[in-house]
Structure 1
Amino acid sequence: MTQPSDRDVGPSGHSTEPVINRQRSLRLSVWDGAFHAAMVGMGESFFQAFAVFLQATNTQLGLLWSLPQSLGAISQLWAARLLRTFGSRKRHTVMFAFLQALTHLAMAVAIFFGGYSVNWLILWVVGYFVLGNLCAPAWTSWMGDLVDEKERGTYFGRRNAVVGITAFLAMMLAGTVLERAGLWFGSHYIGFALLLVLATIAKIVSVSLLSRQDEPALVLDPAKQFTFMEFLRQAHQNNFGRFVLFMGAMSFSVFVSAPFFVPYMLKSLGMSYIVFTVISAFTLLAKYAVMPFWGEAADRFGTRRTMV
């Protein structure tokens, strides 16, 4: 049986808000996530491999990992202001997601015109992460209103399983293309450009599916609005603040060495593209394969107990 649609009804008995079909929107979100994962599997997952191919220095490899993610995180401070400008989480998310897709196309076009450098790659990857991070707060709020609070762990666990399988298949395809690029195209440059074009197409399909999802009315509570500095001053006094500090510490410890795993595998260990891809893809698959289990555990026992 289809879940009843949600709407607000005015005093006259007529609907004052558009019909919200949650079940349809959640199904579309699974497919949106799958195509987004295909973009990641064929694009983002090989940014560092492309930098190694371009003979990036260790400093450039560190910047390629840290600078885009740092600036992307900082850009979220302006996401709420931009959201108020757009007046809709859906319009906000669709716009920046589409622009993010175009960064792949720009990188591919630059390859065909020649003269590609690591510094240009870093610049485009910064744009990719900034645009993606500008989407994140609005999309998270939007999905939070679509998914019932008691079912979030189960839903996102299953959604992430589909996302993980798709990312795995996309990475395996990408690794095969790179491994055979020299034979097929006579140049690995063409192989990387082809992956970026495919990533662009996948993201545009994702954006199309995203645009077909319904958006519940956004209700802003002035009491819950605060500045970044106010958050920092009160972070240690509330659960969310302590969780953010915990995640920040964990991310810092991971990112100390993370930028150098890919060059270590490709340069120091001399792995081929297909071996590198298989190791990376199966690591990703293992992570997503257990997410349905952890999602159900979070719904049953709570997120804090599950994490601990």
Structure 2
Amino acid sequence: MPIQKTVNVNPPPFASKPRRKGSTQRTNLSIATWEGVPAIILQTLLGGPFLTGFLLYLGAGSRHIGFVLAITTFVNIAQIGAAYWMQRIRSRKRMLILFVGIHRVLWSSTGLIPFLFPKEWWVGIYIGVYTVAFISNTIGGMIWTSLIGDIVPAKVRGRYFGIRNTILNALGSVCLFAGGIVLDRFPGEMGFLILFIPVWICAIANTVIYCFYPDVPFERSTEQVFWRMFKKPFQDPSFLKAALFLAAWLLIQTLIVPLFSYVMLDLLNINYQTVSIITVVQTLVMMAGFYIWGNLNARFSNKTLLFWTLPIIALSCLSWGLMSFMPVLIALFLSHIFLGIGVGGFNQLAFNFTIGDTPKSERPMFVAVYSALTGVTSFLGPLIGGWLYEKMEAWPDAMNWVSAYGFQVGVGAAMLVLTFTLGRRVLLK
């Protein structure tokens, strides 16, 4: 005989209805989108061409800039330890707030360096604070990736991130344009001070919004021993081949792509506002790309679409060669249009690959191994690129074309060769 349930025939007049699962999911997705608003403002005003410009203002050279651009990926090695440590924490949400908060506070505090320290210390202190901030960020990013993978349902993941990234990059493009105008009208100390005021506000707001994230249950690894847990990704041939190939690809890509702003600002002597407009165009194209790649992701696999982003990124580098017979700005706009389409799709699809094509219980370690492999190569790329540009500065004036566009074309050609040889076998078969 089935168990009879008692029913309250006359519920209290003000009793609230239980929240439906669909409604809860929509609320969580909305929170995740709103959290990105202050994050993208902070990231835009502290990164990209403004990061390069601020480092040049502090007195950094191409090697310093290459190191700073590289360290954000190198510290991803720490995610391997974080993935193991995550199995023992009780609340992912609390640890997320802690580590993301440390990152936001430290990175935004770099704006105080010119006001607190002698000029000869500026670059060294910036690198130190920046490094600690991004060590904290890589741990927070690991937790966020695990948490957001559980918050966003798999069936809408590609489309949701496409829409989310489109919205946030629209806001980022506005910030890029406004920031460029500010730095052109108020060069030097005053301009950067104006930029850092909204950065400080957004650092606090972003940390507070994380408090509204749901602390969903965590499916832990089936392994308790670190070494066995660490071996899991290396025992998955499909994942490992793709991760190793993408790591090799990023080594070549980061020789030049992170230094695009440096070349425009320091070697081609293009002003901040023009660089900002170019970057805004890139962002607008990226926004459309996010939506298109997201919809395509509902029909095609992550790895198939990843493959087709690679020749587009290569075209971005090859386009620099157009300035040998065309106006410089036309070549730069074309390059950044290709970059927006390619890199936007690459980043979105690589993220979906790590959280969608990996076992849920072992996802943190798979993400950590991917991040560590690509982090090492993405660290070496800008360092080597910055060192090569430093060597090019000593070359005769007749060789200036090499640093202006020749190096970029060579890197783009190498990308195409790698894509249609090894990339085709790894990602399409």
* Unmatched segments (≥5 aa) in structure 2: 1-17, 308-429
Deviations 1:265-306 (A, max 9, x none): 111111111111111222123123211111111122222332
Kept after mapping to 2: 8 A contact 1:108/1:194:
no
Q: 1:189 to 1:244 in 2, by over 3 A?
A: same
Residue number in structure 2 paired with 1:12: none
Kept after mapping to 1: 8 A contact 2:84/2:226:
no
Residue number in structure 1 paired with 2:177: 172
> How far 1:147 sits from its partner (Å)?
1.1
Counterparts of 1:225 and 1:162 in 2: how far apart (Å)? 42
Counterparts of 1:122 and 1:259 in 2: how far apart (Å)? 17
Kept after mapping to 2: 8 A contact 1:41/1:167:
yes
Q: 1:225 to 1:33 in 2, by over 3 A?
A: farther
Residue number in structure 1 paired with 2:263: 264
Answer yes or no: is 1:141 the counterpart of 2:146: yes
* Unmatched segments (≥5 aa) in structure 1: 7-19, 183-187
Residue number in structure 2 paired with 1:5: 21
Residue number in structure 2 paired with 1:280: 279
Residue number in structure 2 paired with 1:214: 214
Kept after mapping to 1: 8 A contact 2:108/2:203:
no
Residue number in structure 2 paired with 1:13: none
Residue number in structure 1 paired with 2:302: 303
Counterparts of 1:240 and 1:233 in 2: how far apart (Å)? 8
4+ residue runs over 6 A deviation = none
Tell me the percent identity. 22
Q: Which has the larger radius of gyration?
A: 2
Residue number in structure 2 paired with 1:230: 231
Residue number in structure 2 paired with 1:59: 63
> How far 1:26 sits from its partner (Å)?
0.6
Kept after mapping to 2: 8 A contact 1:42/1:195:
yes
- Among 120, 126, 130, the alignment partner of 2:125 is 120
> How far 1:42 sits from its partner (Å)?
0.8
Answer yes or no: is 1:107 the counterpart of 2:110: yes
| Amino acid paired to 1:230 | K
Kept after mapping to 1: 8 A contact 2:41/2:202:
yes
> How far 1:194 sits from its partner (Å)?
3.1
Kept after mapping to 2: 8 A contact 1:31/1:206:
no
Counterparts of 1:286 and 1:160 in 2: how far apart (Å)? 12
Deviations 1:53-86 (A, max 9, x none): 233222212212223421x212212222443454
What secondary structure does 1:222 align onto? coil
Matched pairs, number: 286
| Amino acid paired to 2:231 | E
| Amino acid paired to 2:186 | A
| Amino acid paired to 1:180 | R
Kept after mapping to 1: 8 A contact 2:87/2:221:
no
Residue number in structure 2 paired with 1:87: 90
Residue number in structure 2 paired with 1:194: 194
Q: TM-score, normalised by structure 1?
A: 0.84
Q: TM-score, normalised by structure 2?
A: 0.62
> How far 1:181 sits from its partner (Å)?
1.4
